[in-house]
């Protein structure tokens, strides 16, 4: 059928014909990666020995991803757009690898994968092959900031990438499998936090190919009306592209993409010209319905494949062993007409090469997807200028996170112009007492703002949403595109993002081994509102186990800090904000607490990461102590010092050493962690054979696990969280878990051999004190005054002649 | 203003006036719980000493929760409805406690909290008080199956509760804070899995009071049009109740609730009369917009409180210390007119008592919220009849999870009539090779079903959705209402629900201490597609750390099993399905693997949980071995036995003991876990001083942590996952992590003292074999035939004279 066409239409049709060939080239390379070990251009008849022995990879999602990629190339070239491609569908690896190869990026990064038949063969062979590349989009994939393994985080990464990147468009393909996950379902609301003036934009493409591994998808089986309602309700303007005829689909996709991009442009232009009255716009999104395994075999062994879940992975199972399958594969690959796509040397024909954008506009080369390239150093104030004055140990009271908040306010101010620092938190920045930052910025908010609202603004740099998933994901996207950030969270609820932490740690591990990936800023957690001060919230808010998960990861990726007071917290925060390619976990309290170290001493102590607090102990010079009282964490430190105070008064001859641990990794053997102490240094602190009463913030097993190979590990007696305690008083929480001063002192007495009858008497006094405590709190609902008001005696033995932190 | 009213309208108005008083009573009791230590009926002027020293609890959400509760009471009485109340808003504790007290349930369960002034005082005092109850809805709260601590799971618990409960209505209040979380955002789609014939229904009430801790909420600031679109898109029929005038709101709420319940009834009736053509209905939901802290103080210290986030927690901060605050509190409480609500003895006046439903229709007494009351025993087939025939160790090959699937098919069949067993999985039941269950049932699916779809049905008992959150939450709700289930998941991705696991473990811990809470079926995880067989998926799919998290929990709650083959897996699965109030984690592979134990031996071995495999070792009778080769997990067991085979052939004089661990908890000291071995038994297996080469499935630290206090812990050399490996071959995965037969054999040689020069030669051979392996897989893309084809030699020394598992 022929119809009269205008020259414009004619040109467009020719463009789309070329685009279709480009798409076929990408599809061909995708199939080749899954199947072929040899004969990459099908110049000879396909034989079993050309087929890989283990067929891995996922075809189903790939043609759709290739389709989108090709169309984005067209749009980028047409309008010189700055686009990154976030590939949500897990195993779309072959597609993105194929496209970055076609556009030339792949060869620039991996020169051995040349743009000829030899390179094609390497490209095919390495895919899902030992020593090669994974089947999903990964750090190895050019142009990616998003690993395609665990599903749920594509959209939130995309939003993180475009905050403060006003010219950037993150096109985010959301598979209908991923769309069923919780984090993804919440991520759509990220548009309420995106400012059209200062931020770029995400163009989500919901790819409904209808099936997961072995099921239809929830969204895929919803009708257009329901899908339209859902996404209108999420605040988007959904545009539909639906069908299976490639030519009709090219036309529709090109038109729809033009409409969406024009819509974005006009929203941005309008918003950026406003002098007031900015409102949250209704951003466009695209709903693409195309068959799963599109252009693949329709049937295999008599069963439906294209447009069904059987196309999900490897649609033809056994071409190496089954001649029918081999023929089917050969036929399938030949439908792409490789001879029209590649010249006889295996090089993409020039008219197709011309379809890729140039230089950094190629999505595989966009520097935003290798954020370290764009990263500017964070400007940091002198943390010393925020010091809490501590003239003597215990001589001041402060809220550690409140002091940190003042430091962070300065960080916000110093980097306001660079617009490259954000603070994330699930509605807890003020509750975690970091609210000084609101003197420098506000919470970003694009919904309506009422006159009585407090610290809400379109330009805010603090991001608060009641979703740890969104906080974490936005921050990851922000860091991966070369910026800096800080995430504060309730300690117990950080477990919500355990799996996201895991995946980011894996990304960093793999990235660090790729020289072309430049270092990005570390992901910094502040875990506060911690287990020991959840007495008002109760058991459901108590879990210090995140660090157990963290310490499972590769040593060069993770750090865990337990600063015992405000000045040490300031040192640690400053340090973490200066590091790269790491995940730093800082655990610190927000409640008023005694301060132990002056800034000078805090620096000395933190630089070592661990040390003897001579001013707190009672040991003699040049002699071993009777017992080591060790502590990690602010509350354990407080209780340890109070225990020492009790013991000193009751048993003045007992020689006690106090060791405080800020950097938990110092406990590990030096072969296992760069920060680990040598055995000699460890023994120097903990002795080779004296009892160690270790008061630890979290689950005690972690300390055993970190120290099991140390000389004195038999002597390590660790107390920590024992899954006890609920709504009660702060001191009762530590008592219920046996981490309080009395239990610590009693254990010290019990572990030191050869103490006399006086010690037994003292022990009984401490036991009586515990009974008295329990009776008192049950009656009064608060702790006894002598507990609440306890302060470190500045006249204590040992404080005068030595400097703290010596 | 007066208007002509009909007698009906008059009666309704009187009903609603009474209802308003009931609501005020609940509000009064809620405020009393937060503030008062004495003077519960305000019979004397309020004084500072009447006020609690620590003010805890959350007022903001409470009046809305009370409003809903009162209206549900009316509806239940009107139509004898079977309703449970799921309270999503975290800290709504005072409201639900107040209501269960008013209806009499609370006193029945806690008789000391009497229905008089004395009981009122106890009720007030215990709230958020040492030795008392938490500020959120918790296991202690009658009528609850949902802890109000970590947000996100209210709706998914509600859906879990109503599956297979056709007469039950779970009214689920979703706060607008919780609505921002990922799990909640995905949970709305649960309606795609709810069958109106066989299941009950969830009536969601989205409570938009507009604010979180210190921010407006995303959904609260969306306009009605957008909210309507969103929930229409989710498949609901949203009905709006909006306002702040109590009387108008009562009228509107009563009408709307009647409309919603009538809608539910008519959908259910229609569906249950159909003989075919069942479609997913559009279920009603209610959007309730009411002020945060409704009926509380409008302003405090000149700042807006009612209808703002300042009402979130304790709206009047310091009535004990600030006379103005005290007056304000007294005035606030007096506006509820307690003298008209309670008689002079503090008993609710009879006309208000009459508003509560009777007996088990009271929401605090509904047995579905104490599922153990309704639980019927699961009928289990004889697992022995599913035994894989193993005539000699290694003499059969099977896929362990496929055998388990056949057993589960029988479980489904035997309990089909009782309708009390479901299997959950994120689209992986078939992929995890449990697909025999599809011979007995299908996947439940209420969207359209196409002719070519496979095993989809409205009545299916397998629930698959690409969200671990939904699988876990549905199962929790299902178990908590007295049913049974099984959750299979990729090992790495189970971390997605770490935090849900934590919270469920906490629920169980607290519940077990409450005699009135009856035991519920255990939550059973099968973690398969595990780390050692993710070579095709790569690094992003590799993480065996879930069990590290699990073992942090109270010993009486958790169990972890590593069955090494199919028959042991069958024993473990059968065992787990018989247990109560626990969380059982089973880690087992799905790939074809050698089978070690006959069913008889499997039973003996599993009952002990750990044991010496004499047939595998080379030790002499009545003599200690030179080395212990221990293993936990199917792949470590395979590699350990292959290592023993290598060593036996190369160094026939070496005396090796093989210990296999099925029940990981046996390694813990018996004081720490009921399953823990005594030191004597432990030493009997692991010796007191011989080297132990322990091949463990997960992160090696866990074994150190479990065994750090054992006699021979210095001798424990643990190999496990070292965060290495990516897309490669199965054997290369273990090689990259040093868990393969060669590394194990080399370490054995290195650890046994006094071996001769021949041993050094053997070690070099093994090292060469590793190099050869690496070369081979890089070239061929698959493992060497001698690795793939290795089988345990049935003629091996030691097999003939002893029975396996002796």
The three-class DSSP label of residue A608 is: helix
What are the residues whose beta carbons fall under 8 Å from the beta carbon of A604, sequence distance 6 or more?
A611, A805
Give mean pLDDT, residues A430-436: 91
Cβ contact, residue pair B182, A178, below 8 Å: no
Give mean pLDDT, residues A149-178: 97
CA A628 to chain centre: 37
User: How high is the pLDDT of residue B4?
Assistant: 61
Among residues A706, A713, A702, the alpha carbon closest in space to that of A636 is found at A702
User: How high is the pLDDT of residue A797?
Assistant: 43
**B217 to chain A: which residues are within 8 Å by CB?**
466
Q: Which residue does chain A place closest to B494, by CA atoms?
A: A499
Q: Which residue does chain B place closest to A131, by CA atoms?
A: B778
User: How high is the pLDDT of residue A8?
Assistant: 86
- pLDDT at residue B535 above 80? no
Residues A96-117 pLDDT 10s: 999 999 999 999 999 999 999 9
What is the least distance, in Å, from the CA of A600 to any CA of chain B?
36
Cβ contact, residue pair A130, B447, below 8 Å: no
- Give the separation between CA A76 and CA A85, rounded to whole angstroms: 12
Give mean pLDDT, residues B249-269: 98
Confidence band, pLDDT 50/70/90 cuts, at residue A4: low
CA B408 to chain centre: 20
- Give the separation between CA A33 and CA A102, rounded to whole angstroms: 14
- A197-211, B18-32, B790-804: least confidently modelled range: B790-804
Cβ contact, residue pair B503, A213, below 8 Å: no
Indicate the residue of A189, A509, A545 with minimum beta-carbon distance to B180. Answer: A189
- pLDDT at residue A805 above 80? no
User: How high is the pLDDT of residue B805?
Assistant: 33
- pLDDT at residue A29 above 70? yes
- Give the separation between CA B629 and CA B612, rounded to whole angstroms: 10
Q: Which residue does chain A place closest to B216, by CA atoms?
A: A453
- Give the separation between CA A131 and CA A4, rounded to whole angstroms: 55
Supply the mean pLDDT for chain B.
95
Cβ contact, residue pair A727, B130, below 8 Å: yes
Residues A235-271 pLDDT 10s: 999 999 999 999 999 999 999 999 999 999 999 999 9
Pairing mode, if any, of strands B627-632 and B656-661? parallel
What is the least distance, in Å, from the CA of B333 to any CA of chain A?
22
Q: Which residue does chain B place closest to A538, by CA atoms?
A: B134
Most A-contacting residue of B57, B97, B218, B308 (CB-CB within 10 A), to test interface: B218
Cβ contact, residue pair A781, B469, below 8 Å: no
- Give the separation between CA A221 and CA A241, rounded to whole angstroms: 16
**A312 to chain B: which residues are within 8 Å by CB?**
none
- Give the separation between CA B677 and CA B754, rounded to whole angstroms: 31
Residues A718-774 pLDDT 10s: 999 999 988 899 999 999 999 999 999 999 999 999 888 889 999 999 999 999 999
Give mean pLDDT, residues A503-528: 96
**A128 to chain B: which residues are within 8 Å by CB?**
536, 727
User: How high is the pLDDT of residue B669?
Assistant: 92
Residues A355-413 pLDDT 10s: 999 999 999 999 999 999 999 999 999 999 999 999 999 999 999 999 999 999 999 99
User: What does the buried/exposed string (b/e) look like for A735-770 if buried means 16 or more CB atoms within 10 Å of the residue's CB?
Assistant: bbbbbbbbbbbbbbbebbeebeeebeebbeebeebb
Confidence band, pLDDT 50/70/90 cuts, at residue A806: very low
- Give the separation between CA A207 and CA A288, rounded to whole angstroms: 5
- Per-residue DSSP letter, B658: E
- Give the separation between CA B162 and CA A91, rounded to whole angstroms: 35
* Residues A560 and A500: beta-carbon distance below 8 Å: no
User: How high is the pLDDT of residue A590?
Assistant: 92
**B178 to chain A: which residues are within 8 Å by CB?**
466
Residues B349-393 pLDDT 10s: 999 999 999 999 999 999 999 999 999 999 999 999 999 999 999
Query: B326 φ, ψ to 5°?
Result: -60, -45
Q: Which two tokens stand for residue A477?
A: 């996207």
- pLDDT at residue A296 above 90? yes
B779 burial class (0-12, 13-18, 19+ CB within 10 angstroms)? Answer: exposed
- pLDDT at residue A803 above 80? no
CB atoms within 10 A of CB B474: 27
**A543 to chain B: which residues are within 8 Å by CB?**
502
Indicate the residue of A466, A549, A705 with minimum beta-carbon distance to B177. Answer: A466
Q: Which residue does chain B place closest to A136, by CA atoms?
A: B537
Count of alpha carbons within 13 Å of A130, Cβ hemisphere only? Answer: 23
Residues A345-358 pLDDT 10s: 999 999 999 999 99
Q: Which residue does chain A place closest to B133, by CA atoms?
A: A727
**B427 to chain A: which residues are within 8 Å by CB?**
177, 212-215
CA A537 to chain centre: 27
User: How high is the pLDDT of residue B795?
Assistant: 60
**B539 to chain A: which residues are within 8 Å by CB?**
134, 138, 149, 506, 509-510
* Residues A743 and A760: beta-carbon distance below 8 Å: no
Cβ contact, residue pair A232, B235, below 8 Å: no
Indicate the residue of B443, B503, B713 with minimum beta-carbon distance to A215. Answer: B443
- Give the separation between CA A182 and CA B183, rounded to whole angstroms: 4
Q: What percent of chain B has pLDDT over 70?
A: 98
DSSP H/E element including B741 = helix B741-751
Cβ contact, residue pair A181, B132, below 8 Å: no
- Give the separation between CA B256 and CA B455, rounded to whole angstroms: 39
DSSP H/E element including A75 = helix A62-79
User: How high is the pLDDT of residue A554?
Assistant: 84
What is the least distance, in Å, from the CA of B734 to any CA of chain A?
13
- Give the separation between CA A73 and CA B511, rounded to whole angstroms: 59
- Per-residue DSSP letter, B58: -
What are the residues whose beta carbons fall under 8 Å from the beta carbon of B274, sequence distance 6 or more?
B197
Query: A201 φ, ψ to 5°?
Result: -145, 150
- Give the separation between CA A253 and CA A65, rounded to whole angstroms: 13
User: How high is the pLDDT of residue B806?
Assistant: 32
Indicate the residue of A232, A506, A729 with minimum beta-carbon distance to B539. Answer: A506
Cβ contact, residue pair B495, A492, below 8 Å: no
Cβ contact, residue pair A147, B493, below 8 Å: no
Cβ contact, residue pair B212, A466, below 8 Å: yes
What are the residues whose beta carbons fall under 8 Å from the beta carbon of A779, sequence distance 6 or more?
none
Confidence band, pLDDT 50/70/90 cuts, at residue B804: very low
**A213 to chain B: which residues are within 8 Å by CB?**
427-428, 430-431
What is the least distance, in Å, from the CA of B17 to any CA of chain A?
33
Residues A534-578 pLDDT 10s: 877 888 899 999 999 999 998 889 999 999 999 999 999 999 999
- pLDDT at residue B500 above 90? yes
User: How high is the pLDDT of residue B431?
Assistant: 86
Cβ contact, residue pair B218, A189, below 8 Å: yes
Q: Which residue does chain A place closest to B465, by CA atoms?
A: A180
* Residues B727 and A132: beta-carbon distance below 8 Å: yes
What is the least distance, in Å, from the CA of B552 to any CA of chain A?
7
User: How high is the pLDDT of residue B554?
Assistant: 84
What is the least distance, in Å, from the CA of A414 to any CA of chain B?
26
- pLDDT at residue B797 above 80? no
Indicate the residue of A151, A498, A713 with minimum beta-carbon distance to B498. Answer: A498
* Residues B361 and B74: beta-carbon distance below 8 Å: no
- Give the separation between CA A501 and CA A499, rounded to whole angstroms: 5
- Give the separation between CA B565 and CA A298, rounded to whole angstroms: 39
Residues A643, A648, A654: CA angle, nearest 5 degrees: 105
- pLDDT at residue B794 above 80? no
* Beta carbon pairs, A and B, within 8 Å: 346
Confidence band, pLDDT 50/70/90 cuts, at residue B672: confident
**A701 to chain B: which residues are within 8 Å by CB?**
551-552, 705
- Give the separation between CA B763 and CA B751, rounded to whole angstroms: 12
Most B-contacting residue of A224, A467, A500, A550 (CB-CB within 10 A), to test interface: A467
């Amino acid at each position: 059928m022929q119809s009269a066409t205008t020259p414009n239409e004619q040109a467009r049709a020719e463009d789309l014909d070329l685009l279709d060939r480009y798409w076929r080239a990408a599809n061909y390379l995708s199939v080749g990666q899954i199947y072929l070990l040899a004969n990459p251009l099908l110049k000879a008849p396909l034989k079993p020995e050309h087929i890989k022995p283990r067929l891995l990879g996922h075809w189903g999602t790939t043609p759709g991803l290739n389709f989108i990629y090709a169309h984005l190339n067209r749009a980028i070239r047409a309008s010189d757009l700055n686009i990154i491609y976030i590939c949500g569908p897990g195993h779309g690896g072959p597609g993105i690898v194929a496209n970055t190869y076609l556009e030339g990026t792949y060869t620039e990064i991996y020169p051995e994968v040349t743009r000829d038949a030899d390179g094609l063969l390497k490209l095919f062979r390495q895919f899902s092959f030992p020593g090669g590349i994974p089947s999903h989009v990964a750090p190895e994939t050019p142009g990616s900031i998003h690993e395609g393994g665990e599903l749920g985080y594509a959209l939130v990464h995309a939003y993180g990438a475009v905050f403060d990147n006003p010219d950037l468009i993150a096109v985010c393909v959301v598979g209908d499998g991923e769309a069923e996950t919780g984090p993804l379902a919440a991520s759509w609301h990220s548009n309420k936090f995106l400012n059209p003036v200062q931020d770029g934009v995400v163009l989500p493409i919901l790819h409904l190919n209808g099936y997961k591994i072995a099921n239809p998808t929830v969204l895929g089986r919803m009708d257009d009306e329901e899908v339209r309602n859902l996404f209108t309700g999420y605040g988007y303007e959904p545009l539909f592209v639906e069908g299976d005829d490639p030519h009709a689909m090219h036309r529709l996709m090109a038109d729809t993409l033009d409409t969406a991009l024009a819509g974005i442009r006009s929203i941005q232009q309008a918003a950026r010209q406003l002098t007031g009255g900015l409102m949250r716009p209704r951003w466009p999104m695209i709903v693409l319905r195309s068959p799963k395994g599109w252009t693949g075999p329709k049937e295999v062994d008599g069963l439906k494949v294209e447009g069904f879940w059987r196309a999900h992975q490897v649609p033809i199972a056994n071409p190496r062993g089954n001649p029918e399958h081999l023929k089917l594969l050969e036929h399938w690959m030949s439908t792409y007409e490789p001879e029209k796509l590649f010249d006889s040397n295996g090089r993409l024909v020039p008219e197709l090469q011309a379809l890729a954008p140039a230089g950094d506009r190629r999505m595989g080369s966009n520097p935003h997807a290798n954020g370290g390239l764009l990263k500017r150093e964070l400007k940091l104030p002198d943390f010393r200028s925020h010091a809490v004055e501590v003239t003597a140990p215990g001589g001041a009271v402060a809220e550690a996170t409140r002091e940190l908040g003042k430091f962070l306010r300065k960080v916000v101010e110093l980097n306001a112009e660079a617009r490259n620092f954000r603070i994330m938190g699930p509605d807890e920045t003020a509750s975690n007492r970091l609210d000084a930052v609101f003197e420098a910025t506000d919470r970003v908010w694009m919904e309506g703002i009422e006159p009585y609202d407090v610290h809400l603004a379109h330009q805010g740099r603090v991001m608060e949403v009641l979703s740890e998933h969104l906080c974490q994901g936005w921050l990851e996207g922000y860091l991966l595109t070369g910026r800096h950030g800080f995430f504060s969270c309730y300690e117990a609820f950080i477990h919500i993002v355990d799996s996201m932490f895991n995946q980011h740690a894996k990304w960093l591990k793999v990235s660090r081994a790729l020289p072309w990936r430049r270092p990005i800023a570390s992901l910094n957690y502040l875990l506060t509102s911690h287990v020991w001060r959840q007495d008002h919230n109760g058991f459901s808010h108590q879990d210090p186990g995140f660090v157990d998960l963290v310490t499972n990861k590769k040593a060069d990726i993770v750090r865990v800090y337990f600063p015992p007071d405000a000045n040490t917290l300031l040192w640690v925060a400053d340090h973490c904000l200066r590091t790269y390619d790491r995940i730093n976990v800082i655990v610190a309290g927000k409640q008023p607490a005694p301060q132990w170290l002056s800034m000078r001493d805090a620096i000395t102590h933190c630089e070592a990461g661990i040390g003897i607090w001579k001013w707190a102990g009672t040991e003699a010079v040049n002699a071993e102590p009777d017992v080591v009282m060790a502590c990690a964490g602010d509350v354990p430190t407080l209780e340890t010092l109070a225990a020492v105070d009790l013991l000193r008064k009751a048993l003045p001859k007992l020689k006690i050493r106090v060791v405080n641990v800020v950097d938990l990794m110092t406990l590990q053997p030096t072969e296992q962690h760069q920060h680990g102490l040598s055995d000699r240094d460890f023994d120097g602190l903990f002795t080779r054979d004296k009892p160690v009463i270790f008061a630890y913030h979290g689950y005690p097993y972690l300390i055993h696990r970190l120290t099991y190979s140390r000389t004195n590990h038999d002597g390590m007696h660790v107390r920590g969280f024992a899954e006890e305690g609920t709504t009660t008083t702060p001191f009762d929480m530590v008592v219920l878990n046996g981490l309080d001063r009395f239990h610590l002192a009693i254990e010290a007495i019990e572990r030191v051999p050869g103490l006399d009858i006086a010690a037994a008497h003292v022990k009984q006094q401490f036991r009586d004190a515990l009974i008295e405590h329990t009776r008192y709190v049950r009656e009064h609902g608060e702790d006894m005054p002598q507990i609440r008001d306890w302060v470190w005696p500045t006249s204590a033995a040992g404080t005068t002649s030595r400097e703290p932190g010596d």
